[in-house]
C-alpha cells in the first residue's frame, strides 16, 4: 500500500482510558502479561471460572487442523448459564429483560429462567429428542429463543438456530444438512409493525424435511390469533401447553468438553452454506472470558447486544457469554426505527442499559437520521459501547463516541467471526488507548499474525489476517464435510488458519481490518481496500453510508464504483458527485477516486443489515443479478440497476 493510500488509516486521534474507568476496570495489563508468558495457563485459568462436573486431563491436544480443548473434562452449558447463579443473590436477579416491538415486556429472574429451561428440556425429551440429536430453532427475538437454546444444551441436543428473517428454502436446506429431528418456531413475530408468519414459512420448509418428527410452536401473543395458525396433527405441539405438562426440574447432562454444542450456518463461496461446528468446553470458556474482560462486566450492568440470536453474535453475546457471567441481558424484538427513529435510545433509557453492543451498519443509520433522536433521551447509564460485524468507519466511530457515549464511554471495536466463536481482536477498555476505526490489538491468549501472499509474516503494513495457534472457541469442522473444513480454512497458508480477511498493522502495532480479501481492489497496480474508500466517503459531512465495489476496467484492471446514501437535507447532484470524488482524492489520493458514484436512498441489505456488495458488483459490471432472496427489500437492487444503467 502506497504512502498516499495509507493516509486514511494513519489515524492521529487517540482516546486513552479515563483514570476513573481504568482504576475500576475488570481487565488490567496483568492479563496481557499472564497470557504472553503462558497462553495455555491463561486459558486454563479462564476455564476454571466455569463449573465442571469432571476436571480435564489436558488443556490442549493439537493435530492440525483439529484441536481438542480440556479433553476429559465434563460440564453442562445450561448449568453454567443458569443453575450456578441460583444459590446466592442472583437467584432473584433479572436474567432476561425483554421488550417486544409493540411495547409488551417480560422479565425473567434466574430462578424463573431455570424453571422455563428445565420445563422446555423435559418437553424436548417427551418428544423423543435425544442427546446428540439436532434441533432447528426458527424464532423471533423473544425469550423463548434463549430458553430453547439452553434447553437443548441441558439434555445434550445440538441446536441449529436459523435467523427468523431467512426464507423457507433456507430453513429447509439447513434442516436437511443437519438432519434435525425437531423444529422450534413461532406463530409469528413483529418487524416494523408487520406480523411475520414464521409458522407458515416453517410449514413450507418442513414439507421437504423428512428427518423432522416434531415441531414446537411458540404463541407470540400480543395481537396474534393462535387459531389462525395451522397445526399438523401428530407433528405440531404448542410450546406453552407442552411446558405446562412438565416438571420444572431436569438433571443437566454431563457433556464432554469436545461434544457438539451447536451448528451455525454461514455463507460459503460455493453457494452452499457451511455448517460451522462448535463444541462445549472451549467455546463457553472463550465466550465467558471475552464477555467479562472486553465488556468490563460488573454486577448491576444491563447488557444489550442488539444482534439477533440467528447470528453468532447473538449466540455468544446475547445468550452464552453474558448468562455464564450472571449478567442481566436485555433483548428487543423489533427494528431500531419503529415506531420512531429514537426507539433504541428510548429503550436504553427505559431499561437502564449500561453496555451497548451494535453494528456499524446501525451506527451509520443513526448518523443519517440525525443527532436529535439520541439527544432526546437520558443515556447517562451507558458506560461502555461496542461495535461488531464489520470494520467501523473512523467518522462513524467518532459520531458514536460523541452522540451516544457523550465523550465518556470507551468503545470496544471487535473483530471476530462465526468460525472463531468469540472475540479475537479488541481493546480491553481499561488498558488500551483506542483509535477510531481500529480494532487495536489481539485479545490476550490469541496468536494472530499478518502475512503476505507467500505466508511470510508482516510486522507493519498490509496483508492477510491469519491465526497461528489454536484458540478455545475455534470451529472444529464443517458439519459433515471435514475435507471442506481443511480446504476452506487451512490450505491457503499451510499451518495457519486463514480468516479470509485483509488487514493492516500501523506504526503503533494496531490492527485495521480491511474486510474480505475479495473486497480489496487492484487499481492500476495499487491495492485499495474498499473500507478505505468507504471511510473517506463517510468522512464527508453529506454522506450517511457508502458501499464500494470494483468493476472491470480496460486500463486500470479494476475501477472503483461507489454507491452512496446522503444524509437528510442533502440533495444528489452532479456537483455533489464531483465534490465526493475530490474528497476521496484528498483523503487517500487521486488513484482512489471512484469512477462512478451512484446516489441511492437505500442499499441492498440482508435482513440482518449487512450490505450485499456481491449484488452491487453485479450492478456495476452489468451482469444479471444474483440471488436476492436474503435481501430485506429485493426491489432495492433492481431499482439501483436501472439507475446505474441510466448513467452509462
Q: What is the DSSP string of 209-252?
A: -TT--EEEEE---SS--GGGS---TTTEEEHHHHHHTS-S--PP
Same domain for 491 and 529, yes or no, is no
pLDDT in tens, 400-430: 999 999 999 999 999 999 999 999 999 999 9
Residue finishing a domain among 472, 502, 532: 502
512 falls within a domain: no
* The pLDDT of residue 269: 46
Query: Are 66 and 131 in a shared domain?
Result: yes
CA-wise closest residue to 77 among 149, 161, 180, 183: 149
Does a structural domain hold residue 389?
yes
- Determine if the peptide bond prior to 644 is cis (ω within 30°): no
Q: Does residue 3 have a pLDDT over 60?
A: no
574-587 and 530-539 are packed helices; what angle lies between their axes, rounded to 10 degrees? 120
- For CA atoms 316, 319, 320, 321, the dihedral sign is positive
259: Cα separation from own chain's centroid: 23
pLDDT tens for each residue of 383-397:
999 999 888 989 999
487 and 530 assigned to the same domain: no
Q: What is the pLDDT of residue 2?
A: 38
pLDDT tens, position by position, 168-209 = 888 999 999 999 999 999 999 998 899 989 999 999 999 999
Residue 510 within a domain: no
Residues 497 and 552 in one domain: no
Whether 517 is in a domain gets the answer no
DSSP state of 17: P
Is 397 strand, coil or helix? helix
In 3D, which of 540, 508, 446 has the Cα closest to residue 11? 508
Q: Classify residue 334: in a domain, yes or no.
A: yes
Last residue of a domain, one of 502, 535, 568: 502
Domain range for residue 639? 524-647
Higher-confidence residue: 11 or 124?
124
Q: Sign of dihedral through CA atoms 498, 481, 310, 204? A: positive
4 has a pLDDT exceeding 50: no
Do both 445 and 331 map to the same domain?
yes
pLDDT digits (tens, 9 = 90+) for 540-561: 999 999 999 988 876 677 889 9
How many angstroms separate the CA atoms of 587 and 594, rounded?
A: 12
Q: How confident is the model at residue 471 (pLDDT cuts 50, 70, 90)?
A: very high
Contact, 286 vs 254, CB < 8 A?
no
Helices 613-620, 635-647: inter-axial angle, 10-degree rounding: 30
103 with 209, same domain: the answer is yes
CATH number, position 20: 3.40.50.12780
Domains contained in the chain, number: 2
In a domain, 605, yes or no: yes
Looking at the structure, do residues 557 and 468 belong to the same domain, yes or no? no
Is 511 inside a domain boundary?
no
620 and 484, same domain (yes or no): no
Nearest to 563 by CA among 609, 526, 594: 594
Closest CA relative to residue 447, chosen from 73, 75, 67: 67
Same domain flag for 494 and 541: no
Whether residue 270 is predicted with pLDDT greater than 50 in this model: the reply is: no
Of 502, 533, 558, which marks where a domain is finished?
502
* DSSP designation for 517: G
pLDDT at 519: 64
Regarding whether 558 and 474 lie in a shared domain, the answer is no
Phi-psi region of 315 (alpha: psi -120 to 50; beta: other; left: phi over 0): alpha
Q: pLDDT tens across 511-544, in order?
A: 999 877 766 676 765 657 788 789 889 999 999 9
> CATH number for the domain including 549?
3.30.300.30
| 479 in the same domain as 604 | no
Is 361 within the bounds of a domain? Answer: yes
Query: pLDDT (tens digit, 9 = 90+) per residue, 99-145?
Result: 999 999 999 999 999 999 999 999 999 999 999 999 999 999 999 99
Kindly state whether residues 478 and 557 are assigned to the same domain. no
Amino acid at each position: 500500500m502506497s504512502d498516499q493510500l495509507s493516509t486514511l488509516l494513519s489515524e492521529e486521534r487517540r482516546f486513552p482510558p479515563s483514570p476513573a474507568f481504568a482504576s475500576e476496570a475488570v481487565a488490567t495489563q496483568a492479563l496481557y502479561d499472564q497470557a504472553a508468558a503462558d497462553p495455555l495457563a491463561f486459558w486454563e485459568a479462564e476455564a476454571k471460572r466455569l463449573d465442571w462436573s469432571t476436571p480435564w486431563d489436558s488443556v490442549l491436544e493439537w493435530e492440525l487442523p483439529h484441536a481438542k480443548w480440556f479433553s476429559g473434562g465434563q460440564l453442562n452449558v445450561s448449568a453454567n448459564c443458569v443453575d450456578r447463579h441460583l444459590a446466592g443473590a442472583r437467584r432473584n436477579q433479572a436474567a432476561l429483560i425483554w421488550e417486544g416491538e409493540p411495547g409488551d415486556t417480560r422479565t425473567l429472574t434466574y430462578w424463573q429462567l431455570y424453571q422455563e429451561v428445565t420445563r422446555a428440556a423435559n418437553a424436548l425429551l417427551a418428544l423423543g429428542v435425544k442427546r446428540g440429536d439436532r434441533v432447528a430453532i426458527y424464532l423471533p427475538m423473544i425469550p423463548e429463543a434463549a430458553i430453547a437454546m439452553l434447553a437443548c444444551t441441558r439434555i445434550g441436543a445440538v441446536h441449529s438456530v436459523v435467523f427468523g428473517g431467512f426464507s423457507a428454502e433456507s430453513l429447509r436446506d439447513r434442516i436437511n444438512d443437519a438432519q434435525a429431528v425437531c423444529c422450534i418456531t413461532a406463530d409469528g413475530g413483529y418487524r416494523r409493525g408487520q406480523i411475520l408468519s414464521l409458522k407458515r414459512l416453517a410449514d413450507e420448509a418442513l414439507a421437504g424435511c423428512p428427518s423432522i418428527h416434531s415441531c414446537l410452536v411458540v404463541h407470540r401473543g400480543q395481537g396474534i390469533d393462535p387459531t389462525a395458525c395451522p397445526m399438523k396433527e401428530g407433528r405440531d405441539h404448542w410450546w406453552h401447553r407442552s411446558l405446562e405438562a412438565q416438571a420444572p426440574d431436569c438433571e443437566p447432562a454431563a457433556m464432554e468438553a469436545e461434544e457438539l454444542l451447536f451448528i451455525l450456518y454461514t455463507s460459503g463461496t460455493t453457494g452452499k452454506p457451511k455448517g460451522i461446528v462448535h463444541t462445549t468446553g472451549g467455546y463457553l470458556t472463550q465466550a465467558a472470558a471475552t464477555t467479562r474482560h472486553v465488556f468490563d462486566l460488573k454486577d448491576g450492568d444491563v447488557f444489550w447486544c442488539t444482534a439477533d440470536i440467528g447470528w453468532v453474535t447473538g449466540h455468544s453475546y446475547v445468550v452464552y457469554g453474558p448468562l455464564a457471567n450472571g449478567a442481566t441481558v436485555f433483548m428487543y424484538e423489533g427494528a431500531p426505527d419503529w415506531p420512531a427513529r429514537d426507539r433504541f435510545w428510548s429503550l436504553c433509557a427505559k431499561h437502564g442499559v449500561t453496555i451497548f453492543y451494535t453494528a456499524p451498519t446501525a451506527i451509520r443509520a443513526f448518523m443519517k437520521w440525525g443527532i436529535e433522536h439520541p439527544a432526546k433521551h437520558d443515556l447517562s447509564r451507558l458506560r461502555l459501547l461496542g461495535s461488531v460485524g464489520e470494520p467501523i468507519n473512523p467518522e462513524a466511530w467518532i459520531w458514536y463516541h460523541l452522540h451516544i457515549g457523550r465523550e465518556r464511554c470507551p468503545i470496544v471495536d471487535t473483530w471476530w467471526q462465526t468460525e472463531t466463536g468469540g472475540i479475537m481482536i479488541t481493546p480491553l477498555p481499561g488498558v488500551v488507548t483506542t483509535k477510531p476505526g481500529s480494532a487495536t490489538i489481539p485479545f490476550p491468549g490469541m496468536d494472530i499474525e499478518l502475512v503476505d501472499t507467500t505466508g511470510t509474516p508482516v510486522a507493519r503494513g498490509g496483508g492477510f489476517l491469519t491465526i497461528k495457534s489454536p484458540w478455545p472457541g475455534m470451529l472444529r469442522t464443517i458439519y459433515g464435510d471435514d475435507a471442506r473444513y481443511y480446504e476452506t480454512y487451512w490450505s491457503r497458508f499451510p499451518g495457519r488458519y486463514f480468516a479470509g480477511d485483509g488487514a493492516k498493522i500501523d506504526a503503533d502495532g494496531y490492527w485495521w481490518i480491511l474486510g474480505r480479501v475479495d473486497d480489496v481492489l487492484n487499481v492500476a497496480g495499487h491495492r485499495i481496500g474498499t473500507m478505505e474508500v468507504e471511510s473517506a466517503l463517510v468522512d464527508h459531512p453529506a454522506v450517511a453510508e457508502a458501499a464500494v465495489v470494483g468493476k472491470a476496467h480496460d486500463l486500470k484492471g479494476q475501477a472503483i464504483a461507489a454507491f452512496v446514501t446522503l444524509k437528510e437535507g442533502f440533495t444528489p447532484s452532479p456537483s455533489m458527485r464531483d465534490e465526493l470524488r475530490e474528497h476521496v482524492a484528498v483523503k487517500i489520493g487521486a488513484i482512489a477516486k471512484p469512477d462512478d458514484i451512484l446516489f441511492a436512498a437505500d442499499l441492498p441489505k440482508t435482513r440482518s443489515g449487512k450490505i450485499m456488495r456481491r449484488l452491487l458488483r453485479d450492478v456495476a459490471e452489468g451482469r444479471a443479478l444474483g440471488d436476492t432472496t436474503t435481501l430485506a427489500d429485493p426491489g432495492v437492487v433492481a431499482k439501483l440497476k436501472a439507475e446505474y444503467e441510466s448513467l452509462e
